[in-house]
Amino acid sequence: MFDIILIFQLIVLVFSVMIHEIAHGSVAFSLGDPTAKNEGRLTLNPLKHIDIFGSIILPLLLLLSSVFSGGPGIIFGWAKPVPINPYNFKDQKWGSLKVAVAGPATNFAVAIFFGLLIRFLNIPVQDNFFQFLSIIVIYNFSLALFNLVPIPPLDGSHILLGIFPIFSRKAMIFLQQYGLIILVFVLFSGGFYFLNGIIVWLFQLTTGVNLF
């Protein structure tokens, strides 16, 4: 059962990050930018979205770590960002903000849908089906919240720039230079553990099940 859960986590991760990027590209296309569509990125074919490190190397390393540790761990990663040209947007004022919000919003929608499915089907916690649905809910809430962190290259930085353009442009000059370094440092120093409490709360709110 442990191996099946790990494999399912990988599948959920791949499709969750994939629909996240497709959402960005689809909203951009609706706003007049065909860049993602022209490069074949508005597709459910995982091969079109693979990032060598984020989609293959990192998840496999985390998978091996889970296997050797003898317990299921979180397998994380990301897809290749879809190409966007904001100069093509019909809505120059809010277009970039709409595209940035689309990815996390899609993950929230998926998490809420499957969370409510658990609630209304009243699936027993001991049931394997509950575990599989829970993985979908937790992963999508995690991806949505993680991407809302206002550090480049995450979506939160683009959202901040869209809402507070004058204030955030000055900060973005610094963050665009050092954002990835800051992000890696925060990740490995455990700085995102505070998100766990929010994820647990959202899970309980949608499913009606307390994880602890």
What pTM value is reported for the model? 0.87
Domain with 89, as residue range(s), is 2-149+192-207
Q: How far apart are CA 135 and CA 199, in angstroms?
A: 12
Q: How far apart are CA 184 and CA 46, in angstroms?
A: 25
Question: Digits of tens for pLDDT over the chain (212 positions)?
Answer: 557 887 888 889 889 999 999 999 999 999 999 999 999 999 999 889 988 877 888 777 777 766 666 555 566 777 888 999 999 999 988 999 999 999 999 999 999 999 999 999 988 888 889 999 999 999 999 999 989 988 877 888 888 888 877 666 666 666 667 666 776 676 666 666 677 889 999 999 999 998 76
Q: Would you please indicate which residues are annotated as catalytic (active-site) residues? A: 21
In a domain, 107, yes or no: yes
Rounded to 10 degrees, the C-alpha dihedral 19/23/29/33 comes to -100
In a domain, 155, yes or no: no
In a domain, 174, yes or no: no
In a domain, 74, yes or no: yes
Q: How far apart are CA 207 and CA 56, in angstroms?
A: 31
Q: How many domains does the chain have?
A: 1
